[in-house]
Amino acid sequence: MPLLFGTAEFNENEHLTIGGCDTVRLAEKYGTPLFVYDVAHIRQRARGFKQTFDSLGVKNKVIYASKAFCCLAMYKLLEEEELGCDVVSAGEIYTAIKGGMSPANIEFHGNNKTKEELAYAVEQGVGTIIIDNFYEIELLSAILKEKKKSQNVMFRITPGVDAETHEYILTGQVDSKFGFDVNSGQATQALEKIMADDYLVLKGVHCHIGSQIFSAEGFLAAVEKMLLILNEWKKTFDYTVDILNMGGGFGVRYTETDDPLEPEAFVKAIVNAVKGQCELLDYTFPEIWIEPGRSIIAEAGTTIYTVGAQKIIPDVRHYVSVDGGMGDNIRPALYDAVYDGFLANRISNDAAENMRIVGKYCESGDILIKEIALPPMEAEDLFAMTSTGAYGYSMANNYNRNLKPAVVFVEDGQDKLVIRRETYEDLVSLDCE
């Protein structure tokens, strides 16, 4: 039996269903490739974080990381679940507000926010800006001074904690493009500059150690390091934070070999670690914020592809081509990310064969799954690739002038188109003759 998430199951016709919707019917209605999101699973994951904090009696804020996947409908769903969001561009700010997100619940990240983006965030009333570098302190301060407005801020610290993850998604170590380094004294310098500014209202500190982290150890080490730093600042500057933002990076399951903690376990581990350190250091227990993105949305997404050409090289490789690829999921090419999948339109009892699932793009590296054992497939079969909800559509591109797929939300037997498939007119809409 294939690895299934959320409400996914097979019906009496041996078709994969998600949210009570037959994916064969969805493919007929919307075409392929098609992103199908299980809304009930999104809600369940979001509540796993939020309700655990609440049950522990801890003042908190759960902030969805928009970069994982965002659209108008996603922000509407976040508002329904009483989650905030973090953004890293003016485009994400615009989309979030247009989608119904309260500006006060938006947190603005980024290592190179432009003057225009910062001014836009201030104009729109974005609740919190996470300052990432000294240049940004100067830019934001000048904007606020000109507008005669104050702004709630936090600043990002790289605490020197390494997490067990891919080099490209490791962010808490000393050698990082993000945040103020602790060991060199930059974080302390930043604290002094922000505290001395008349327009910056310092609410707390932020750290993020990486992504796709399976155990709590890295977070526990980060909590210990952060509280030691905060305690030093309390002694030196008589400054105590209101908010400790521990970022995100909580791992998810892509294949049978992955074994991440559940959202509830991550929350309990972080809360207990903060409580323990605060008691040890006699430090006032702060409000805790976290920023889950992938861990809310990844497993809820499934991409449906149509099988096309196949190529068998005896004693070498069996290639199966689908009608998408690195244009709708670049992660395998970028990170060597590993996924699982299966036939969505029928169940076969034929002996499985080792295959390589590849895309239609003009690159040898356009490989979705390097090796997977599947029963023989035929042209027009539907192939479901699971756990594609994070960083699939959000990193989608028009390489080879292919169209970006449609996105559908499904819940309680109802399907809703939330992003339409691009058209050829869309492709040339920005071109100038």
Across-strand partners of 85? 64, 106
Instruction: Check whether 292 is labelled as a binding-site residue.
Output: yes
Q: How many CB atoms lie within 10 A of CB 227?
A: 21
The DSSP secondary-structure symbol of 210 reads B
Instruction: Check whether 335 is labelled as a binding-site residue.
Output: yes
Instruction: Check whether 291 is labelled as a binding-site residue.
Output: yes
Does residue 362 carry a catalytic annotation?
yes
Cα→Cα distances 7→20, 37, 198, 264, Å: 7, 10, 51, 20
Q: How does 169-199 read in b/e, with b if 16+ C-beta sit within 10 Å?
A: ebbbbeebebbbbbeeebbbebbebbeebeb
Sheet containing 21-22: give its strands across.
Answer: 9-10, 16-18, 21-22
Q: How many CB atoms lie within 10 A of CB 116?
A: 10
Instruction: Check whether 293 is labelled as a binding-site residue.
Output: yes
The DSSP secondary-structure symbol of 423 reads -
Instruction: Check whether 294 is labelled as a binding-site residue.
Output: yes
Q: Report the distance separating Cα 239 and Cα 347, nearest Å.
A: 62
Q: Report the distance separating Cα 264 and Cα 239, nearest Å.
A: 31
The DSSP secondary-structure symbol of 250 reads B
Q: Catalytic one among 71, 85, 362, 432?
A: 362
The DSSP secondary-structure symbol of 333 reads H
Please give the annotated binding residues, written as ranges: 249, 291-294, 331, 335, 363, 391
Please give the annotated binding residues for substrate, written as ranges: 294, 331, 335, 363, 391
Q: Cite the active site residues.
A: 362
Please give the annotated binding residues for pyridoxal 5'-phosphate, written as ranges: 249, 291-294, 391
